[in-house]
């Protein structure tokens, strides 16, 4: 019997999914949809600046909103670990309770400190999103991961779209006050908490609660790569490394840094997402600066968010059909998209037409969402499920740290305390610098390839080049037909 066959024979079979998995997935998607129904979310900024709360733009910009970045950074790592250790459901309950706290503070809070606590709880809800996105992978077999992930993501996007449209219809058509819309949002959040209580708590997770029947959830090949000197497969020694797997995976991150495509897209995730979310946090204040509407029915934040969500879903879906050699063209595509985003930021900040500002915002979000699934594939295509989760966690944390540093310097009242228009000039410069670096890196890459090809001997020219392959193509070319290739990615 061949070595490969023996390895396959020793590998434990995949455990059967829960017989009720279809119902559980459907319930989780329904929960994901209902958890996004917050009609008042698009109108928080005009609500705080309006007569009902009467905060000043300086207070909202430099004292209240910055707390969101600080809170998110402070709780991200603990929640990442607790999500796995507590097996998802308690973190989802925490998310629902935090949402309820947000709307209670919005409705009854009257001071700056109350609104800062509101932003603190908002940071918790953002950090706990990982519990929902990873929960579904414990309900189904790996062969269904991609399809189930699309279902859960689609339910969230549909919830955001529906929530924004309901909020806009209530305000514009129904003439509902922002306070009433907030009460409606509170009611939906209470219903979401009830739904959370009926979620099934998984018996296993990626790092701390691993199934022994599945080598504690990690394939033999992955663990053998971590410890190739060991004669016996590591998955037979579950008790010796069960609590150390997370640290073994952290050591593996050093290998990832040396992989060009993974390094490039991880850097994009860190730097571009930091700029994207900074824009997202302060754009509503910019809209109020450009068009300080006194009539609530003429505030169209909800409609704009609905359109941008829909366009983001369309561009993200279309990205899956773009077939190019990403190993070669990635830097150029990222540079062009980032350059377009810099132009859109400048347009948003300089125009006096609110509709033009709305359009630029929609296009900015759509362009970002176009690159997100590409980045996910490029990062995840050659990693194990556990390592993939860790890489995305590290990337998100580093992006949050960068975002917090920028907030402290340019936004916080103890820093430069810039106005929203000045901040958007900084964001424009930030994206312009990123564009320049991406395009220069692409030019350097082309130059090095041309120089390399010019130095090739005739014999070398007949050898197929591998540098144009994506990570998954390289994996397939090296291990064609290998049973060790990961069948699913987080």
Token pair listed for 201: 């708590």
- HSE at residue 102, side-chain half, CA atoms within 13 A, is 26
- Report the phi/psi class of residue 217: left, alpha or beta, with left for phi > 0 and alpha for psi in -120 to 50: left
What is the rounded distance in angstroms from the CA atom of residue 344 to the CA atom of residue 365?
Answer: 10
User: How far, in Å, CA of 215 to CA of 482, rounded?
Assistant: 20
Residue corresponding to tokens 């590591």: 234
Please tell me the distance from the alpha carbon of residue 324 to that of residue 172, in angstroms, as a whole number.
44
Of 243, 245, 276, the C-alpha closest to 390 is 245
- pLDDT of amino acid 134: 79
CA–CA dist 236, 171 (Å, integer): 61
Cβ–Cβ < 8 Å for 435, 338? yes
Q: Give the up-direction half-sphere exposure of residue 424: CA atoms within 13 A in the CB hemisphere.
A: 26
Predicted pLDDT at 91:
93
* Torsion, CA 57, CA 188, CA 124, CA 300, rounded to 10: -30
Query: Residue 4 and residue 172: Cα distance in Å, rounded?
Result: 65
For residue 277, give both structure tokens: 């979310």
Instruction: Kindly report the three-state secondary structure assignment for every residue of the chain.
Output: CCHHHHHHHHCCCCCCCCCCHHHHHHHHHHHHHHCCCCCCHHHHHHHHHCCCCCCCHHHHHHHHCHHHHHHHHHHHHHHHHHHHHCCCHHHHHHHHHHHHHHHHHHHHCCCHHHHHHHHHHHHHHHHCHHHHHHHHHHCCCHHHHHHHHHHHHHHHHHHHHHHHHHHHHHHHHCCCCHHHHHHHHHHHHHHHHHHHHCCCCCCCCCCCCCCHHHHHHCCHHHHHHHCCCCCCCHHHCHHHHHHHHHHHHHHHHHHHHCCHHHHHHHHHHHHHHHHHHHHHHHHHHHHHHHCCCCCHHHCCHHHHHHHHHHHHHHHHHHHCCCCCCHHHHHHHHHHHHHHHHHHHHHHHHHCCCHHHHHHHHHHHHHHHHHHHHHHHHHHHCCCCHHHHHHHHHHHHHHHHHHHHHHHHHHCCCCCCCCCHHHHHHHHHHHHHHHHHHHHHHHHHHHHHHHHHHHCCCHHHHCCCCCCCCCHHHHHHHHCCCCCCCCCCCC
CA–CA separation, 418 and 38 (whole Å): 30
What CA–CA distances, in Å, run from 77 to 82, 122, 128, 396, 404? 9, 16, 10, 10, 15
pLDDT tens digits along 36-64: 999 999 999 999 999 889 999 999 999 99
Structure-token pair, residue 52: 């009902």
Q: How far is residue 190's CA from residue 188's CA, in Å, rounded to a whole number?
A: 5
Q: Are 379 and 265 in contact (CB under 8 A)?
A: yes
Measured CA to CA, the distance from residue 163 to residue 303 in angstroms comes to 10
- Which structural domains are found in the chain, ordered by start? 19-203 (1.20.1250.20), 258-454 (1.20.1250)
Dihedrals phi, psi of 13, to nearest 5 degrees: -70, 155
Q: What is the mean pLDDT of each run of 10 residues along the chain (490 residues)?
A: 42 53 85 93 94 92 95 93 87 96 96 96 93 77 69 86 95 93 96 92 72 46 42 42 58 74 91 96 95 87 94 86 86 96 97 96 94 85 74 90 96 93 96 97 89 67 44 44 37
CB-based contact 307:362 (threshold 8 Å): yes
Neighbours of 310 (CB within 10 A): 18
pLDDT at res. 483: 36
Of 308, 256, 25, 241, the residue nearest 150 (C-alpha):
25
């Amino acid at each position: 019997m061949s070595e490969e066959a023996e390895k396959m024979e020793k590998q434990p079979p995949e455990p059967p999914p829960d017989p009720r998995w279809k119902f559980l997935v459907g319930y989780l998607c329904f929960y994901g949809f209902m958890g996004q129904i917050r009609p008042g979310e698009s109108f928080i900024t005009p609500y705080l600046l309006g007569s009902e709360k009467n905060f000043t733009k300086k207070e909202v910009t430099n004292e209240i909103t910055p707390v969101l970045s600080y809170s998110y950074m402070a709780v991200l790592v603990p929640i990442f670990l607790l999500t796995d250790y507590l097996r998802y459901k308690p973190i989802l309950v925490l998310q629902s309770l935090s949402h309820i706290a947000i709307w209670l503070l919005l409705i009854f809070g009257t001071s700056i400190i109350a609104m800062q606590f509101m932003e603190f709880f908002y940071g918790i809800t953002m950090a706990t999103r990982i519990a929902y996105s990873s929960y579904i992978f414990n309900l189904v077999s790996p062969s269904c991961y991609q399809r189930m992930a699309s279902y859960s993501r689609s339910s969230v996007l549909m919830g955001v779209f529906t929530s924004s449209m309901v909020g806009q219809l209530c305000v514009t058509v129904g003439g509902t006050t922002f306070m009433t819309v907030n009460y409606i949002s509170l009611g939906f959040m209470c219903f979401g908490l009830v739904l959370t209580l009926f979620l099934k708590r998984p018996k296993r997770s990626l790092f701390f609660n691993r199934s022994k029947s599945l080598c504690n959830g990690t394939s033999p090949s992955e663990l053998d790569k971590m410890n190739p000197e060991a004669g016996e497969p590591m998955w037979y020694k579950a008790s010796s490394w069960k609590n150390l797997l997370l640290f073994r995976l952290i050591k593996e991150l050093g290998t990832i840094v040396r992989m060009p495509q993974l390094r490039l897209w991880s850097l994009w995730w860190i730097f571009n997402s930091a700029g994207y979310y900074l824009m997202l946090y302060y754009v509503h204040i910019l809209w109020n600066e450009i068009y300080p509407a006194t009539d609530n029915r003429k505030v169209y934040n909800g409609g704009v968010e609905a359109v941008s969500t829909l366009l983001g879903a369309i561009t993200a879906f279309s990205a899956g059909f773009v077939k190019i050699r990403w190993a070669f063209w990635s830097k150029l595509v990222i540079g062009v998209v980032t350059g377009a985003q810099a132009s859109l930021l400048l347009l948003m900040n300089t125009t006096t037409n609110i509709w033009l500002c709305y359009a630029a915002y929609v296009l900015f979000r759509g362009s970002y969402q176009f690159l997100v699934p590409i980045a996910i594939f490029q990062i995840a295509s050659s990693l194990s499920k556990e390592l993939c989760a860790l890489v995305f966690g590290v990337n998100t944390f580093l992006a949050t740290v960068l975002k917090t540093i920028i907030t402290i310097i340019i936004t916080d009242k103890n820093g430069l305390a810039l106005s929203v228009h000045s901040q958007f000039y900084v964001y424009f410069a930030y994206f312009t610098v990123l564009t320049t670096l991406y395009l220069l890196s692409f030019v350097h890459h082309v130059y090095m390839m041309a120089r390399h090809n010019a130095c090739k001997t005739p014999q070398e020219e007949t050898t197929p080049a591998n540098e144009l392959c994506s990570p998954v193509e390289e994996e397939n070319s090296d291990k064609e037909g290998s049973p060790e290739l990961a069948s699913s990615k987080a």
